[in-house]
Copies of this chain bind each other. A is one copy, B any other.
Amino acid sequence: MTKVPTSHFDAKATLGDVGQWDLLKIILQFTTPVSRSPLASMDDIMHLPIVTDTAGKQLFLKIDTFVQSTDMPPQMSHYQVGKKAVTAVISDLGAKGIRPAGIGASLCLPRGLLANNAVAIVHGIADACQHYDCGYFGGDLNEGLEIVITPVAVGMADAKKVPGRGGARPGDVLCVSDRLGRTAAGLEILLKGNDCPPNVREILKNAVFAPETPLEQGVAFVEHNFATAAIDSSDGIAFSIGQLATESKRGVEVAVDALPIAPEVAEYAPETVHQVELALYGGEEYCYLWTIPKNMLAPAKILCKEHKWQLFEIGTITQGSEIVLKDKRGESSPLRTSGFTHFAGDAPSS
C-alpha cells in the first residue's frame, strides 16, 4: 500500500468550486461495487450482501451526519437535534421498506457545550429510537469545534424486495406520503425571519424542529410490493423525482394541481408560485416518494385508509426522458430537479 497523492481536480479548486456532485462521482470510483444490489450507485443507503441472516435477509446500513453549522437553526433545541439526526437515518431505510434493527451514534461535541445540552441530545436520540421501536446500542464520544452527530442505522431486508431508485416503469403512478412544503416554509420563517400568520407558525416551525418519518407505511408498502421504486424526500421532492426518473431512465409528468400543498403552507404563502416552490424544493421533510403500478394503487389506498396513512398521487412515469410539470391548462414546462446541495455546487439537472 503506497501513499499515492490523488489529483482529480484542478490543484487550486476547493469543494466550494467543484460542488458536491463532482466529488460524489469520484468517491463512487473508490467504493466496492455490490453486484445484484437493488440500490443504484448513487443511492444513499448501503447494502452489505456479505451479511445474510437465517431468513435470507441481507444487511442494509445508513449513516448520516447532523452538523450544527449546516443543519441546526439557532432556535432548535438540543433534544430536537438528537431526535432529528436519528429520524434522518431511519427515513432513508424506511423509504426502502427496511425496518431499522438498531442505531449507534458517534457524538462529536465542543468542550464549551453545556453538559445538560449534551445529555439532551442523547435523550433525543434515545426517544427517537424508542419511537421507531429500534434499539439504541451506544456509539462513541469525541471532541470537536461544533456539534456533529453521526447516527448509523442497520436493518435486515430481503434484497429482492427492496425498491431502488431505478425500477419505475411507464404508467406507474408517482405518489407521496404526506402533504408538502411545511419544512421549507418553516425554514424561511426561522432563517429569513419572514412574517407568518400566528395560527400556523408553530406547525411550520415544528416541521423543521421535530420531523417524523412514516416508517410503518414504508415497511408495509414494500412488504406488499406496492412500489417499483422508492426514495425519501430529504433533499426536496423535486430532487427525489429527478433521481427516480434518471435512475429509471424514464420521464415523469407531475401535475401542479395534484401537489398536496399543506394547508398551513397555503396560509403562510398566499401566492401559488411560492407554494409550489416550497412544496417542490424543501428538503428535510422525510416523507416518501413511490412509483406504484396502476393495479397496485387500489390495494395501496385501502391499506392507507385502514391505517390512517396519507397517500397523494402527484404524477405519472412516462416513456420518454423528460421531467415536466403540467399546469391546470394542460401546458407542460420542464421541472427543475435540483435539490439541497452541499458546498454551494449545483445538483446535476436530470
**Residues of chain A having any CB pair with chain B under 8 Å:** 1, 3-18, 20, 22-24, 26-28, 30-32, 34, 44, 46-48, 50-54, 59, 61, 63-65, 67-70, 77, 79-80, 101-102, 104-116, 118-120, 122-123, 125-127, 129-131, 135-146, 148, 150, 152, 154, 156, 210, 342-344
A108–B150 Cα distance when bound, in Å, is 10
21 residue pairs from A and B, CB less than 8 Å apart? A8-B116, A9-B116, A12-B114, A16-B112, A18-B115, A20-B141, A31-B136, A32-B136, A50-B101, A50-B102, A51-B53, A61-B137, A63-B63, A64-B142, A65-B108, A65-B144, A67-B148, A69-B143, A111-B343, A148-B150, A150-B150
Q: Which residue on B lies nearest to A143, using beta carbons?
A: B342
Which residues of B sit under 8 angstroms from A47, Cβ to Cβ? Answer: 137
Known: A23-B115, A146-B145. A102 touches B48 (CB 8 A): yes
Q: Which residue on B lies nearest to A151, using beta carbons?
A: B63
Q: A4-B123, A46-B102, A106-B150 are in contact. List 13 more A-B contacts (CB 8 A).
A: A3-B80, A6-B120, A6-B123, A11-B116, A12-B114, A18-B115, A23-B119, A26-B122, A50-B102, A61-B137, A65-B140, A146-B146, A152-B152
User: Does the CB pair B142–A342 fall under 8 Å?
Assistant: yes
Which residues of B sit under 8 angstroms from A30, Cβ to Cβ? Answer: 122-123, 125-126, 136
Which residues of B sit under 8 angstroms from A156, Cβ to Cβ? Answer: 51
User: Does the CB pair A144–B136 fall under 8 Å?
Assistant: no
Minimum Cβ distance to chain B for residue A7 (Å)? 5
User: Does the CB pair A15–B109 fall under 8 Å?
Assistant: yes
User: Does the CB pair A4–B126 fall under 8 Å?
Assistant: no
Minimum Cβ distance to chain B for residue A135 (Å)? 4
A109–B67 Cα distance when bound, in Å, is 10
Which residues of B sit under 8 angstroms from A141, Cβ to Cβ? Answer: 20, 23-24, 27, 342
Q: Which residue on B lies nearest to A67, using beta carbons?
A: B144
User: Does the CB pair A1–B46 fall under 8 Å?
Assistant: no
User: Does the CB pair A16–B111 fall under 8 Å?
Assistant: yes
Minimum Cβ distance to chain B for residue A297 (Å)? 32
